[in-house]
Chains A and B, each alone.
Chain A
């Protein structure tokens, strides 16, 4: 790489430099190396310890609970309801979730005579990650929206108000018909603090009607109050 003449000239330069440095005025140069080290350490921490926020179409403020179980993100069927009582369904973005979203769309299209095209079904799969909350009869026009329009469109929510028109039941029924009765591994309910109880009851009713009795409620963690039976249980070593 370097020939001997160049090395010679460099050596001379260094000698000149070392002599000069002794008399040169103090430099205002700050050594940033440590700063860079720290900043990249923090950067690495954030990259490893966090994950990206899912696209938020629905604003939901979860209640707190003492439960500390992790939320699975594989094969999820999630029903969300916000403070206004709008109900949304969503599927996880992994292979199982996409497959179930596709089956749901196909069966729903057949059962309700929506005649969804393959393109609309793939839009359904795409939108289902963020959440779908439209009545069955509006589904076709909803699936014509572009990605940008989807983000700004205020979805009315799936009607669950009365038992005669509980359309969440139709969606769940389509899902289970599509999979041949195979239930998603994780059925999750993602509710807002301010949702009125009747909406929650109707969501449960739609699930019960389709034979799903086991759920995971999405909550954020809070500490177990000390002195309570659960606290004692957790803090006594297992026999």
Chain B
């Protein structure tokens, strides 16, 4: 466009006019193009999403299965994790002692070591991790704990409803150590 006008205009003008016209070079002003380019980039940055969500597979058992079809967990291989409010984690191995002596408090950082210790000390076919979230725990806690199962490569784990006795123990522990054990 510019070059055609130049050559057309150049014919009519004389003297200094010719020189002026001739000095113009054929370069095109790219500034609006750059403006537009960056405008589009900004638009795409704001309207799109890069990190696509990932899927975490979860299979739950059929509760309606008959009692005799349910798999029985061997007490010695059981490791129970209780989830409570403020990301508190409690655990016990095997069966809960009647006096609650094997009921221990932990948190999400330390529980991994405990799970791995249990895994190392237990034959693989006996090991089962039982996750019991209480009413005050949040979805994140449950997913984090399921994620720990993936990380520790635990084959058998289950999410089970909490027993009233365990709720009492959690309450008692949280009550006695007023600031929750966040070591």
Contact with A along B25-50 (1 / 0, CB 8 A): 10101110110011011001101111
Tell me whether A219 and B143 are in contact (CB under 8 A).
yes
Any A CB within 8 A of the CB of B14: no
**A35's closest neighbor in chain B, by CB?**
B34
Question: Which of B25, B41, B62 has the largest number of chain A CB atoms within 10 A?
Answer: B41
Q: How far is the CA of A191 from the CA of B143 in the complex (A)?
A: 10
Tell me whether A13 and B10 are in contact (CB under 8 A).
yes
Any A CB within 8 A of the CB of B137: yes
Which B residues are in CB contact (< 8 Å) with A200? 139, 142
Interface size in chain A (residues, C-beta < 8 A): 70
In the assembled complex, the CB of A206 is this many whole angstroms from the nearest CB of chain B, namely 12
Tell me whether B54 and A229 are in contact (CB under 8 A).
no
Q: How far is the CA of A68 from the CA of B18 in the complex (A)?
A: 68
With A69-B54, A217-B56 as given contacts, are A39 and B37 in contact (CB-CB < 8 Å)? yes
Any A CB within 8 A of the CB of B176: no
Any A CB within 8 A of the CB of B134: yes
Tell me whether B54 and A71 are in contact (CB under 8 A).
yes
Any A CB within 8 A of the CB of B140: yes
* A contact face: mostly helix, strand, loop, or mixed: mixed
Tell me whether A193 and B58 are in contact (CB under 8 A).
no
**B152's closest neighbor in chain A, by CB?**
A229
With A20-B22, A33-B30, A192-B139 as given contacts, are A224 and B60 in contact (CB-CB < 8 Å)? no
**B37's closest neighbor in chain A, by CB?**
A39
Tell me whether B59 and A213 are in contact (CB under 8 A).
yes
Tell me whether B19 and A16 are in contact (CB under 8 A).
yes
Contact with A along B1-23 (1 / 0, CB 8 A): 00000110011000000110011
Tell me whether A216 and B151 are in contact (CB under 8 A).
no
Tell me whether B138 and A47 are in contact (CB under 8 A).
no
**Which listed residue, B6, B38, B139, touches A197 by the CB 8 Å rule?**
B139
Q: How far is the CA of A224 from the CA of B44 in the complex (A)?
A: 30
Any A CB within 8 A of the CB of B118: no
Q: How far is the CA of A65 from the CA of B57 in the complex (A)?
A: 11
Any A CB within 8 A of the CB of B97: no
Which A residues are in CB contact (< 8 Å) with B151? 66, 224-225, 228-231
**Which listed residue, B49, B53, B63, B141, touches A219 by the CB 8 Å rule?**
B53
Any A CB within 8 A of the CB of B168: no
Q: How far is the CA of A215 from the CA of B58 in the complex (A)?
A: 5
Tell me whether B33 and A17 are in contact (CB under 8 A).
no
Any B CB within 8 A of the CB of A50: yes
Which B residues are in CB contact (< 8 Å) with A105? none
Q: How far is the CA of A39 from the CA of B42 in the complex (A)?
A: 11
Q: How far is the CA of A196 from the CA of B7 in the complex (A)?
A: 76
Tell me whether B23 and A217 are in contact (CB under 8 A).
no
Given contacts A13-B22, A63-B140, A214-B59, 18 further A-B contacts (CB under 8 A): A31-B27, A33-B30, A47-B44, A51-B49, A62-B53, A65-B143, A66-B150, A207-B60, A213-B59, A213-B60, A213-B61, A213-B62, A217-B146, A219-B143, A224-B151, A228-B116, A228-B152, A233-B153
Contacts from A to B (Cβ < 8 Å): 6, 9-10, 13, 16-17, 20-21, 24, 29, 31-33, 35-36, 39-40, 42-43, 46-47, 49-53, 62-72, 81, 188-189, 191-201, 204, 207-208, 213-221, 224-225, 228-231, 233
- 7 A-B pairs with CB atoms under 8 Å apart are A36-B34, A36-B37, A39-B38, A46-B45, A53-B48, A64-B144, A65-B54
